[in-house]
Structure 1
C-alpha cells in the first residue's frame, strides 16, 4: 500500500478507500477508513479552532469549520505536535475568496499565531532593570548599545484594528466601539507564564522590530522617529522591562550585561 496515497485519501473524502486495507475482525475496510478519516479531519479542525478562537468567533462555527477543512486538505500537518499546526493558516485566509469581506481576518490570525509561539518560546530570565538604568544614564554609550529581546516578543502591524478586535473578544472592550478599519500595532510577549497582548504605537512598533532585527539603540530610535515624531523611548523601554521583554544588553565595546 502506498503511504502517500493513504495520506491523500485520509484528508480528501472524495478519494476512495486505499486498496490493501484489511480489518482484523472482518469489518468493511471502507467503512472503518471513513470513520478514521472523519476523526482525523475533526482533530485537525479542532486544533485550528483552539489556536484561532477569535477568528472562529468572527466568522462563526460553520464558516470556520468549512474554511479549516479546506486548509487541512491543502496543508496537512508535517509534525505530530498539533500545537504548532496552522503556521500557514493566516496566509491561507488572506487568499480565501469567501473571507474577502473581512480583510482584517488574516492579521487577526497572525496575532493569534504569535500568541501560540510566545507561549511555547524558550525561557530566559529578564534583565535587571537597575543595571540597564545605570548604563542609560551615560548618553555617550547609548547609540551603540544593543538590547536583546525575549524569544516570545513579536510585533504584528496591521492596516486594521486587530489589537482592539482581539481585546473585544476577551471582554476587555465593547465590540461595537471598535472601528476595524483603524490601523493598529500589537505587541505580544510572555511575561512569566502569561502571554500578554497590548496595543502599541507605530513608533514603538518600529523600535521593537528594529531591536529584534539586531539594530543598536541609536538606529532603532531613528527607525521609530521616522514613523512617529512623538515616539517616547523612556515609556517604551519601561513597558518592555515591566513585561520582562529585555533579557540582556551589549555595549559597543562588546561586553554583555544581564
Structure 2
C-alpha cells in the first residue's frame, strides 16, 4: 500500500476515534467528516446501548456518552466481531477509574444476560435422570451462578446505591426453555451447593446442610432445566491393534 495513503487512513481513523485530540487528514470536506464521525460513533454507541440498557439509564445521557466516547477513543479492541463489543466494554471498565462504584458489576451482569440470550453452546455429555446425590450435579450451559458486592438486579435510574450492602448479592441467571433469560436470588446455602465440587451428597455434607432440603432444591432446579442431570465422563477406548 502507498505510504501516503496509509498515513491518510491512519490520520482519518485517529480523527474519527478522538476528534478532540486528532486533526483530520487534509483535503477531506468538513461536512463529510461530520457524517463519518456520527456514523462510526453511532454504530458503537448503538451496540453498547442495546447491550447495557440499564447502565445507560442509571448513568444518564451525559455520563453514558462520556463513558462510551472514552471507550471508543482509548480502548484497543482485539476482536473484529460486533457480537463481542460488549465483552470488550466490560474489559475496558476493569482498567479505568469509574464514577460509580457499582458500574463494573452492573456491566458484567448485563453482559452475562446478553451472552446467555445469544448463546449457541451445547451441554456436555450427561445423564438427565442421574441421581443428584450420588452423582455430580451439572449446570446447564446457559446458566450462571454469580456473586456481586452490589445489588445489580435492582440498580436503575430510580435506585443508585452509594454504599454496598453488608451481604453479597448471590444470583442464578439462566435461559429457560422459552429462550427467556431469568434471574433468581440465591440463599447462601443454595449458592454454595451450586458452585461446590463433587457429588450432591458430598456438597451437602461439606455445608452441613439438611439432606432432604438439599435434594428438593436440586430436583427443583432440574425441573426448571437449570441442572440438566449428572456429569457423565467420556470413556476413551483404546484403538484396536492390527
Q: Structure 1 length normalisation: TM-score? A: 0.70
Find 1:15's aligned residue among 14, 22, 29: 22
C-alpha separation in 2, matches of 1:73 and 1:220: 50
Find 2:147's aligned residue among 127, 148, 157: 157
C-alpha separation in 2, matches of 1:196 and 1:50: 18
- Alpha-carbon distance change, 97 to 252 in structure 1, aligned in 2, over 3 angstroms: closer
Residues 44 and 72 in structure 2, CA contact (< 8 A), matched pair in contact too: yes
SS in 1 for 2:141: coil
Flag the structure with more relative contact order, 1 or 2, with Cα contacts below 8 A and sequence separation at least 6: 2
SS in 1 for 2:101: coil
Deviation at 1:41, TM superposition (A): 1.0
Over aligned residue pairs, what C-alpha RMSD do you find?
3.8
Residues 185 and 199 in structure 1, CA contact (< 8 A), matched pair in contact too: yes
Find 2:198's aligned residue among 216, 223, 232: 216
**Structure 1: gaps of 5 or more residues:** 22-27
- Partner residue in 2 for 1:37: 37
Residues 55 and 105 in structure 1, CA contact (< 8 A), matched pair in contact too: yes
Deviation sequence 1:103-127 (CA, Å, 0-9, x none): 2221111110000110111254798
**Structure 2: gaps of 5 or more residues:** 236-242
C-alpha separation in 2, matches of 1:176 and 1:7: 36
Residues 207 and 223 in structure 1, CA contact (< 8 A), matched pair in contact too: no
- Partner residue in 2 for 1:116: 114
Deviation sequence 1:188-218 (CA, Å, 0-9, x none): 11112101112112333333334xxxx4325
Find 1:202's aligned residue among 188, 197, 201: 188
Deviation at 1:223, TM superposition (A): 9.3
Tell me if 1:184 matches 2:174: no
SS in 1 for 2:86: coil
C-alpha separation in 2, matches of 1:222 and 1:88: 38
Deviation at 1:224, TM superposition (A): 6.9
Matched residue pairs, number?
A: 225
C-alpha separation in 2, matches of 1:39 and 1:45: 10
Q: Structure 2 length normalisation: TM-score? A: 0.73
- Alpha-carbon distance change, 234 to 12 in structure 1, aligned in 2, over 3 angstroms: same
